Amino acid sequence: MTAEHETSKPHEYGDRMERYAKARARNRRRACREAGKDLRESISELRRQLQHDDSEDYRQSA
């Protein structure tokens, strides 16, 4: 075994850290996108409930 195999090269370390940073950013974007989708679905559901409640209130008052 030569000394070359025993130590990692500095540029490989930097490349690996860059790949990790990109992967973290990708995962963070995906998580934010999924959270935003859940939030939009919740807002839509609440709007539907509110419209339904408003129409019932209107019918009862008429």
Q: Would residue 57 count as lying in a domain?
A: yes
Per-residue pLDDT of 3-60, as tens digits, reads 455 566 777 888 999 999 999 999 999 999 999 999 999 999 999 999 988 777 767 7
pLDDT score at 34:
96
Q: Would residue 4 count as lying in a domain?
A: no
Q: Would residue 3 count as lying in a domain?
A: no
Phi, psi of 50 (to 5 degrees): -65, -45
Domain that holds residue 31: 9-61
Residue 51 to residues 36, 46, 47, 56, 61, Cα–Cα distance (Å): 22, 9, 6, 9, 15
Question: Considering its fold, how many domains does the chain have in total?
Answer: 1
Q: Would residue 16 count as lying in a domain?
A: yes
- Rounded to a whole number of angstroms, the CA Rg of the chain reads 27
Report the predicted TM-score, pTM, of the whole model to 2 decimal places.
0.54
Q: Would residue 17 count as lying in a domain?
A: yes
